[in-house]
Amino acid sequence: MSASPAQATPLPRLLVSVRDPAEAEAARLAGVDLVDAKDPERGALGALDTRTVREIVARVSGGAVTSAVAEPTPRDVAAMAASGVDWVKTGIGPAPRGDGAALAALAAAAPGRLIAVLFAEDGPAAALVPHLAEAGFAGAMIDTAGKRGARLPDLAAPADLAAFTAACRDNGLMSGLAGSLRVIDIPSLSAYAPDYLGFRGGLCRDFDRRNGIDPLRVAEALRALRPSRRDAA
């Protein structure tokens, strides 16, 4: 029997990171929910130039939600927000975690549109979520800083991921989980009810994030998510 809307566990949407307008269009045509602009050659938070991001937004043309990575300064966040993306993502490292003024200055540069990216390598993140909400962030996601094989489930304990997504819900923040994910991770991570699951390498040719997005792997990820959505409706 299908669960009622009140009982159904919220199901995540698919975020796919792209590096150029051609990949953005391929992702949109494949049906991804969120097209995320970043430079895979520069790690988890490699920012593209704003001109490229504007071209990506134009190529998506409203066919998906968009986001882009910005360097963690108010100036860079504001510049990326002006590119026309729906959301701006920026990294929050260990040092500024307790600096409420610095967090507020970042959030003010993209009012209601800034997503904090936290790294699994820095430890549990749930305790930071209320501070992000107070500072004015719109959401938070956990990623992995290293992109050489270690995946999010290898670096973060299930209890910590569950606590993080629960804290985001309790504080009214959008949540996401990412970090060298594969399609096989979708069922276990969906149980934590994040708003988004983020992919790059796991959906690229040869599972190499430097290669192009493989539409067949994107379709596989969507099949892993969307049948459950129909069952829960």
* Terminal C-alpha separation, the chain: 11
Taking the C-alpha atoms of residue 216 and residue 219, their distance in angstroms, rounded to an integer, is 5
| Residue in 54, 89, 113, 131 annotated catalytic | 89
Strand pairing category for 139-143 and 87-91:
unpaired
CA distances from 222 to 12, 55, 121, 156, 185 (A): 10, 25, 28, 24, 13
CB neighbours of 184 closer than 8 A, spacing ≥ 6?
Answer: none
**Closest residue by Cα to residue 166 from 132, 120, 212, 129:** 129
The one-character DSSP state at 141 is E
| Residue in 13, 28, 38, 54 annotated catalytic | 38
147 has catalytic annotation: no
Question: Which residues are known catalytic residues?
Answer: 38, 89
